[in-house]
Amino acid sequence: MKRAPSPPRRAAPWRLALGIGGVALVVVVLSWLWDRGLHSALGGGPTRQATPETQIVLAGKGTQTTEPFHLSGGTYRTTWSAWGQAPEFPPCTHSAALMLVDTTNGAGGGDRVTDLATRVSVPATGASDQRDLPNLKAGDYYLDVRSACAWKISLSPT
């Protein structure tokens, strides 16, 4: 007995759904990485991560002025970290200042509140420092970072 040739097979519907789900998962993971700082690691602008009055984390590479952020006032603990591009590179210089937004002139310069780092020679392997900033007034602030390093700065209420 001769068998009739079988018709061509179509992809099962579950395979199509699995393929679409896989693509969607890749998009979600890449979006999450972008939000978590991949953008700044690849040389983009500073990124900001914040949850209301728990912690503000800003990261970037090189000299930048960050977008303004709001602090409710009180004592804040600040931690900065900076590092070079590769172990064989010479130290990079890092400075950062917390600035109060000048509300009288709108956009433009602000008042220097405190220096977080001043011309620190950072080895390629990195450096960091932590300190408390007591009695900050409630208001909008930004960071003025002058750096040849990659950097990350966090502020959290104590």
141 and 97 belong to one structural domain: yes
Global pTM value: 0.64
Q: State CA 89 to chain mean position distance.
A: 23
Residue 25 maps to a domain: yes
Predicted confidence (pLDDT) per residue in 45-103, tens digit: 554 444 446 799 999 999 999 999 999 999 999 999 999 988 888 999 999 999 999 77
Say yes or no: 101 and 116 in one domain.
yes
Query: Are residues 130 and 78 part of one domain?
Result: yes
What range does the domain containing 18 cover?
13-42
Residue 36 domain-assigned (yes or no): yes
Mean pLDDT of 109-138: 93
Residue 92 forms part of a structural domain: yes
| Residue 154 C-beta-side C-alpha neighbours within 13 Å | 16
From CA 141, how far away is CA 135, in angstroms rounded? 14
Structurally, the chain folds into a number of domains equal to 2
Can you give the pLDDT at residue 96? Answer: 97
Let me know whether 23 and 82 are in one domain.
no
